[in-house]
Amino acid sequence: MHSNRSMWRAALRNPSITVGGGILLLITIVFLFAPWLGTVDPLTMNPVNRTLDPSSKHWFGTDTYGRDLYSRVLYGGRISLFIGFSVAILATFFGLLIGLVSGYFRIADMIIMRIMDGLMSIPAVLLAIAMTALMRGSVLNVILAITVSEIPRVVRLVRGSVLSLRERTYVEAAMVSGTRTPTIIVRHILPNTFAPLVVQATYIFAAAMIMEAIMSFIGAGTPPSIPSWGNIIAEGRVLWQVKFMIIVFPAAFLSLAVFSINMMGDGLRDLLDPKSPR
């Protein structure tokens, strides 16, 4: 295991991490500073300016309601990234908790794993859209719905590594020396589940952004009043045969952002968790 400083150096030498992380950082900065980057109110409609082509006034053109696409894409990125990030944090946190319980208590394990198997058998998109169909379509509800469908994967991962870590000789050594279970979990189990978990979290980040886009596309995602990449594309799709640009800009940004996150995930996996399936 590397010390922290050499870990950083190894991270900076890994092209997947530097390129992926670099793009992600750039995109994030652009979105945070969206109000100062020549944007106008992304919600202002102007029927006269409907579906304009890109120009010096509207860099990406305008949509069917005459709203400025450049502004919408920049503000929409904030929502998409926020959703992806929140899902990654929430799913990882709850997955870790449930996975630890499952890995350490046999009876709970039986029940938890059956529930997780059941949840995993319902295709994630269906589960998520069914849940948002029940609730009001808000950003929070979209986050919750995607989180629920992502949790089983994290639980499986954590449980798997807890079960294998429990068999490690150094954990047995700690047991023999009289160390209590909570101490063993904190000192030996948790830190060693951390690496695969960070990797998984980046993948969930990326997957959640794709999922949000799909849900918005279907019409079960974030409400139309809040621009996200998903619903900008969803609104543009009626005109896809004539005004392809309306789809291309948000789609390109979405794909680039997800690509950079996935790339970072691959780099992190090579770095932190070299033995996991790639």
Partner 1 sequence: MSETDIIKSQHPGANGAAQDVVLSVRDMCISVPGEDGPISLVRNLSFDILKGRTLAVVGESGSGKSVSALSIMRLMPKTTITTGGVLLHGRDLLTLKEREMEDVRGNRIGMIFQEPMTSLNPVFPIGMQIEEVLHRHGKGDGSNLMQQVIRLLDKVQIPNAARRVSDYPHQLSGGQRQRVMIAMALACSPDLLIADEPTTALDVTTQANIVDLIKQIQVEDQTAIMFITHDMGVVAEVADDVVVMRNGNAVEKASSREIFEAPSQPYTQRLLSAVPIIGSMRNSTKPERFALIGDEPAAPAPAAVAQGAQGTVLDVKDIAVSFEVAAGKSIFRKNVVRAVKGVSFDLKAGETLSIVGESGCGKTTVARTVLGLQQIDSGRITIGGKSMTDIGKQQLREVRRNIQMVFQDPYASLNPRLRVGDAIAEPMLAHGFSRGEALETARQLLEEVGLTADMVTRRPHEFSGGQRQRICIARALALKPKVIVADEAVSALDVSVKAQVLNLFMDLQDRYGIAFLFISHDMAVVERLSHRVAVMYFGEIVEIGPRSAVFGNPAHPYTQRLLSAVPVPDPSRRSHIGSVQSEPVRRDDLVTGQDLTKRSYRDLGGGHLVLE
Partner 2 sequence: MYKPIVSRLISIVPVLFVVSIVVFSLLYLTPGDPALVIAGPNANAEDVEKIREALGLNESFLVRYVSWLVDIARLDFGNSVMNGTPVIDLIAQRIEPTLSMMFLTIIFAVVVAVPLGVLAAAKVNTVADRLVMLFAISAFSVPVFIIGYVLARVFALEARWFPVQGYAYLADGVVPWLRHLVLPSVALGLVYIALIARITRAAMLEVLSEDYIRTARAKGLRSKRILFLHALRNASNPIVTVIGVGVALLIGGAVVTESVFGIPGLGRLTIDAILRRDYPVIQGIMLLFSLVYVLVNLLIDIFYVVLDPRIRY
Using CB under 8 A as the binding rule, the residues of this chain from 141 to 200 that contact partner 2 are none
- Quickly list DSSP for 207-218: HHHHHHHHHHHH
Based on the shown chain and the rule CB under 8 A, indicate whether residue 191 belongs to the binding site for partner 1: yes
- Written as six digits, the tokens of 124 are 């994630």
**Quick one: which of 178, 182, 274, 277 contacts partner 1 (CB under 8 A)?**
178
Enumerate residues 6+ apart whose C-beta is below 8 A from 79: 139, 222, 226, 227, 228, 229
Should residue 131 be labelled a site residue for partner 1 when binding is judged by CB under 8 A? Answer: no
User: What is the helix (H) or strand (E) element at residue 230, kind and residue range?
Assistant: helix 229-236
Q: Does 219 bind partner 2 (CB under 8 A)?
A: yes
Of 183, 238, 240, 244, the one binding partner 1 by CB under 8 A: 183
CA distance 253 to 171: 46
Alpha carbons 128 and 142: distance in angstroms, whole number: 8
Q: Of these, 27, 213, 226, 271, which contacts partner 2 (CB under 8 A)?
A: 213
Residue 192 near partner 1 by CB under 8 A = yes
Q: Token pair of 228, please?
A: 């996200």
DSSP string, 149-177: HHHHHHHHHHHHHHHHHHTSHHHHHHHHT
According to the binding rule CB under 8 A, does residue 278 interact with partner 2?
yes
Rounded Cα–Cα distance for residues 153 and 149 (Å): 8
- Name which of 12 and 26 has its Cβ closer to partner 1: 12
Instruction: Out of 2, 13, 57, 237, point to the residue binding partner 2 (CB under 8 A).
Output: 237
Partner that binds at residue 244, options partner 2, partner 1, none, CB closer than 5 to 8 Å by kind: partner 2
Q: Please tell me whether residue 125 binds partner 2 under the rule CB under 8 A.
A: yes
Pick the closer one to partner 2 by CB: 77 or 174.
77
Q: Which is nearer to partner 1, 103 or 230 (CB)?
A: 103
Size of the site for partner 1 (CB under 8 A): 19
The DSSP H or E segment spanning 126 is helix 124-134
**Which amino acid, one-letter code, is at 226?**
I
Beta pairing partners, 154: none
Find the angle CA(157)-CA(162)-CA(163) to the nearest 5 degrees: 100
Confirm or reject binding of residue 166 to partner 1 (CB under 8 A). no
4 or 56: CB nearest partner 1: 4
Which residue in the set 34, 52, 129, 271 belongs to the binding site for partner 2 (CB under 8 A)? 129
Catalog residues that contact partner 2 under the rule CB under 8 A.
114-115, 117-127, 129-131, 133-134, 206, 210, 213-214, 217-220, 233, 237, 240-241, 244, 247, 251, 254-256, 258-259, 262-263, 266, 277-278
